[in-house]
Structure 1
Amino acid sequence: MVARAFLPVIRPMRPADLALVEGVEARAYDYPWSINIFRDCLRMGYECWVQLATERVVGHCVLAMGPGEAHVLNLAIDPDWHNRGLGRALLERLLTRAEELGAESVFLEVRPSNAPAVHLYRATGFRRVGRRRDYYPAEDGREDALVLRYTLREVAPAGR
């Protein structure tokens, strides 16, 4: 599919979007989340967003909040829509929401083999803070995850 000029829109994910979200997820990843995982994320009140282009869902993201921090659980763009700034726009939406909701840091895991995602996260300001061994399923067994952190605001050490 060739993308024409479009007006990108990011809006909260709705239950009616789930089949389309699942389709994007299946095109974006070899080991996609199921529709039930997305349904549970909505039910639990996670920050779930969709990226629209030409009035159709072409991407999505999920953010979980915890005390003082947020965790990007999922971010995907349909491969037909890569390299148009849509992933960056979704990531920036998540960072803005995390800050609005009081997070000091945002964490995520990414496959080292997913070079475009690693590049996006590093270019946005995420820094590596760890590695999770055998985190992701892979064709030949398991793949590690890089753990990255984005600092929204510096916090003074306790006692100062």
Structure 2
Amino acid sequence: MTDSFSIRRAAIADLDALVALESVIFASDAWPEQLWRSELESPHTFYLLATRPDAPAEVVGYAGLLSLPGGLDGDVQTIGLADEARGYGLGRELMRLLHLEAERRGVREMFLDVRVDNPVAQSLYRSFGYEEIGIRKGYYQPDNVDALVMRAAL
């Protein structure tokens, strides 16, 4: 039911909405505004955001890609969905679009970190061919939660 949402490239004008949603989704380890600003302003990143067609100013999801020019690898920087946007396939669609952009940029391998206590996200990533390649102990702070490092070939 991803037709219930509109997806577009994020812009610096979306900064406040992204920061607000991030603080709801990832309360204890949300990215600060300055990090979001640098991500949105970087020529090496690509961020998408999702809204409902009837409320285009209300961000309900986002996802980001980092890839350096000429590099063969890319990173899923973040992906997040508001509670009311879960269960519609929106996370899957955001991942699909990130992968398309990565391929357009010449990326051959994608990497990401995911909390070990987030089996829903892990399942989504595995459905895209991601495999666990390592663990980062205590990566997510201040919760001191380990991260699974995952990789997928495009």
**Which runs of no fewer than 5 residues in structure 1 stay unpaired?**
153-160
Q: Using the alignment, how far apart are the partners of 1:88 and 1:44 within structure 2?
A: 24
TM-score, with structure 2 as normaliser? 0.88
- Give yes or no for contact 2:12–2:41 (8 Å, CA) kept in 1: no
Aligned residues between the structures: 146
Amino acid in structure 2 at the alignment position of 1:115 = P
**Which runs of no fewer than 5 residues in structure 2 stay unpaired?**
none
- Give yes or no for contact 1:18–1:35 (8 Å, CA) kept in 2: yes
Q: Using the alignment, how far apart are the partners of 1:138 and 1:87 within structure 2?
A: 25
Alignment of 1:117-136 (within 5 A): 117-136=121-140
The higher-RCO structure (CA 8 Å, 6+ apart) is 2
Partner of 1:91: 95
Partner of 2:21: 24
Q: Which has the higher helix share?
A: 2
Alignment of 1:2-41 (within 5 A): 7-30=4-27, 31-41=29-39
Q: Using the alignment, how far apart are the partners of 2:33 and 2:46 within structure 1?
A: 16
Q: Secondary structure at the match of 2:141?
A: strand
Amino acid in structure 2 at the alignment position of 1:13 = A
Partner of 2:51: 52
Amino acid in structure 1 at the alignment position of 2:47 = C
Q: Secondary structure at the match of 2:39?
A: helix
TM-score, with structure 1 as normaliser? 0.85
Aligned partner (choices 101, 104, 108) of residue 104 of structure 1? 108
* Structure 1 residues 68-110: Cα deviation after superposition (integer angstroms, max 9, x where no partner): 0100111101112111111111111111100110001000000
- Give yes or no for contact 1:47–1:64 (8 Å, CA) kept in 2: yes
RMSD over aligned Cα atoms = 1.6
For the pair shown, which has the larger CA radius of gyration, 1 or 2? Answer: 1
Q: Using the alignment, how far apart are the partners of 2:134 and 2:52 within structure 1?
A: 35
- Give yes or no for contact 1:6–1:53 (8 Å, CA) kept in 2: no
